[in-house]
Amino acid sequence: AQSVTQLGSHVSVSEGALVLLRCNYSSSVPPYLFWYVQYPNQGLQLLLKYTSAATLVKGINGFEAEFKKSETSFHLTKPSAHMSDAAEYFCAVSVANDYKLSFGAGTTVTVRA
C-alpha cells in the first residue's frame, strides 16, 4: 500500500518569503509523486510530478520539488511567495501515471501582505 504524510495542515508565510511544504511518502515500489493545488471553489490542478527521471522537478507558478529517496520525501518549495499562492496543496503518490492516487491530508497556505 502507498501513503503520504503532509507535515503541517496550515502554513502562513509573508509575501516574498520562502514557501516550504513537506511531504513524506511510503511505497513498496518506486513511486510516482505529485503535487496538486486547489484554489477555492475549484478542482485540483497539477503543479508538478516526479516519475523517476530528474530528482528536482520544476512545475508551474515557480514551484519545484525535490525527490529524496533516502528521506522518502518530496517537499514542495517556492522561493518567493505571492498573494495568489494562497490555496490548499495536496501531495499524492501512485505506482504509475494512470493509476489511482493516494493523497495526503493537504496543507493550507495563507500569504500575509
Query: Judged by CB under 8 A, which of 12, 14, 26, 45 binds other proteins?
Result: 45
3-class secondary-structure state, position 85: helix
Interface segment toward other proteins; rule CB under 8 A; list 13-21, 62-70, 73-81, 96-104: 96-104
Q: What is the DSSP string of 96-113?
A: STTSPPEE---EEEEEE-
Range in contact with other proteins (rule: CB under 8 A) among 17-25, 52-60, 67-75, 95-103: 95-103
Euclidean distance between CA atoms 103 and 62, whole angstroms:
22
* 107's grid cell: 496543507
In the bound state with other proteins, the residue whose beta carbon lies nearer, of 92 and 111, is 92
> Contact with other proteins (CB under 8 A): which of 23, 49, 67, 93?
49
Edge-to-edge strands, sheet with 19-26: 3-7, 19-26, 73-78, 64-68, 56-58
Whole-number minimum distance, CB 81 to other proteins, in Å?
Answer: 24
Among positive and negative, which fits the CA dihedral 38, 101, 62, 14?
positive
Binding-site string for other proteins from residue 17 to residue 36, where x marks contact by CB under 8 A and - marks none: -----------------x-x
| Interface residues toward other proteins, by CB under 8 A | 34, 36, 41-46, 49, 90, 92, 97-106
